[in-house]
Amino acid sequence: MSLYGTMRTGVSGMNAQANRLGTVGDNIANASTAGYKKASTQFSSLILPSAGGAYNSGGVNTTIRYSISDQGTFSYTTSDTDLAINGRGFFIVEGTDGVEYLTRAGSFQQLSDGSLVNAAGFKLMGYPYQNGVDPTIVINGFDGLSEINLKASGMNAVPSTEGYTTANLPANAAVGDTEKTSLIAYDSQGNSRKLDYTYTKTADNEWELTVTYHDASVTPAVDINMLPTSPLTLEFNAVGELIVPAGGTFNTNPLPIGGANLSGLTIDISGMTQLGKPFSSTGDINGSGASSVIGYEISEDGIVSLKYESGELVPTYRIAVADVQSPDKLNPLAGNVYSQSQDSGVVVVGYPANGSYGSILSGALEDSNVDIAEELTGMIEAQRNYTANSKVFQTGSELLEVLVNLKR
């Protein structure tokens, strides 16, 4: 073995330990970085061919491994836009360069323009979500994604379309007796419209129902019949169960009112009875009046809903997540994000809590998977090994000096 080879081997060892110290330093520095995945240095021997009884010294090679697939613990926060993935998958985010990346760092905050941006400045991406129907996912690409924006577009009103009424009509009522109740519906502009229900007994086990809208805003005030035909016949059997109308539902006519439209309503009355008890009635009609956004909610399956003053939750986006076959082979980039590599496999896009993808935790952050005690131990080992390799280099240098001085 040549003295130069001895020195090169020592330098190789020092470089390898310097790489290890570098990963240890990065890990310790990012021990409090949400979603950070630790790096480690792996060693492999470098063997050079030897011949004629002389040993040809080699050295050591290093490769860096990222523990991206190792999930960290969770810390819970007071912000609903702090997000974590419990299980497989990555958030899809967009950088200022307009390129999509993967990350587990979910410390998102709402900017003045409504976008959700994490601590590194990457915007959270998802799909627009309308009418409760999931959009079609582009499985192997990022087409169709848009930034999730929580900025409200003014006020919101949900027009009524259906409802139910459950009542008990007194079996001992006399023919001609009436009972009344009312329900509120909402037109296309979010105005509340009171619908009056009047039940009139016409014979044994038979009643007539009229549904009217009373408009007091005009002169003279008018009562508008809302039923397709005047009045609706209700028939009951001997045990007080509703048998007519068949199916237990009826429809009202649509009604234009002051520039708005009150939609035709489908009303379920299948729970109505005629028993020997006083009149009682409950019911509800869907829809809500005009109201402003007061907050938002993010469900475990990634649906982002705006919350209005009326209590209505309106789904507007669904967070998209992505995964690859070999997460540890992704390319780590600045900002705690990753990009696809040749060895990671292709990016596959899906929804949280669907298939193999993990669920969303709102108000939580995934901690770094760095173990400080393990890193400090590794730092001491690297320091000692670096010193030992420097001694090999120093010894080779001293022997080389002896060899040079033989000529004197």
Q: What is the pLDDT of residues 325-352, one digit of tens each?
A: 999 999 999 999 999 999 999 999 999 9
Do the Cβ atoms of 169 and 278 come closer than 8 Å?
A: no
Asked which of 21-35, 59-73, 210-224, 368-382 is least confident by mean pLDDT, the reply is 210-224
Asked which of 111-120, 211-220, 325-334 is least confident by mean pLDDT, the reply is 211-220
d(C-alpha 324, C-alpha 322), whole Å:
7
pLDDT for residue 152 = 66
303 pLDDT band, cuts 50/70/90, is very high
Residues 6+ apart with CB under 8 A from 25: none
d(C-alpha 28, C-alpha 215), whole Å:
72
Q: What is the mean pLDDT of the chain?
A: 90
Q: What is the pLDDT of residues 258-300, one digit of tens each?
A: 889 999 999 999 999 999 999 999 999 999 888 888 888 999 9
Q: Averaged over 70-90, what is the pLDDT?
A: 95
148 pLDDT band, cuts 50/70/90, is very high
Q: Averaged over 130-154, what is the pLDDT?
A: 78
| 383 or 153: which leads in pLDDT | 383
Q: What angle do CA 67, 39, 325 make, to 5 degrees?
A: 30
pLDDT for residue 131 = 65
Domain boundaries, given as residue ranges, for the chain = 3-67+369-405, 74-155+293-366, 158-290
The percent of residues in the chain predicted with pLDDT above 90, rounded, is: 70
Asked which of 9-18, 253-262, 307-316, 323-332 is least confident by mean pLDDT, the reply is 307-316
pLDDT for residue 153 = 61
Q: Is the pLDDT score of 123 beyond 90? A: yes
Rg (CA), the chain: 36
Q: Is the pLDDT score of 215 beyond 90? A: no
- The answer, as to whether pTM is greater than 0.85, is no
Nearest to 204 by CA among 179, 231, 239, 174: 174
Choose the CATH number for 158-290 among 1.20.120.1200, 1.10.4190.10, 3.30.2290.10, 2.60.98.20. 2.60.98.20
Q: Averaged over 81-88, what is the pLDDT?
A: 96
Q: Is the pLDDT score of 136 beyond 80? A: no
d(C-alpha 297, C-alpha 313), whole Å:
8
Q: Is the pLDDT score of 189 beyond 60? A: yes
Q: Averaged over 13-30, what is the pLDDT?
A: 93
Assigned token pair, 206:
């038979």
pLDDT for residue 408 = 63
238 pLDDT band, cuts 50/70/90, is very high
Q: Averaged over 28-39, what is the pLDDT?
A: 94
d(C-alpha 215, C-alpha 196), whole Å:
11
* HSE-CB of 68 using CA atoms within 13 angstroms: 27
Q: Is the pLDDT score of 389 beyond 80? A: yes
Residue whose structure tokens are 């805003």: 217
In 10 A of CB 314, how many CB atoms?
17
Asked which of 58-67, 80-89, 352-361 is least confident by mean pLDDT, the reply is 58-67
Q: What is the pLDDT of residues 252-269, one digit of tens each?
A: 999 998 889 999 999 999
Q: What is the pLDDT of residues 347-357, one digit of tens each?
A: 999 999 998 99
48 pLDDT band, cuts 50/70/90, is confident
Q: Is the pLDDT score of 37 beyond 90? A: yes
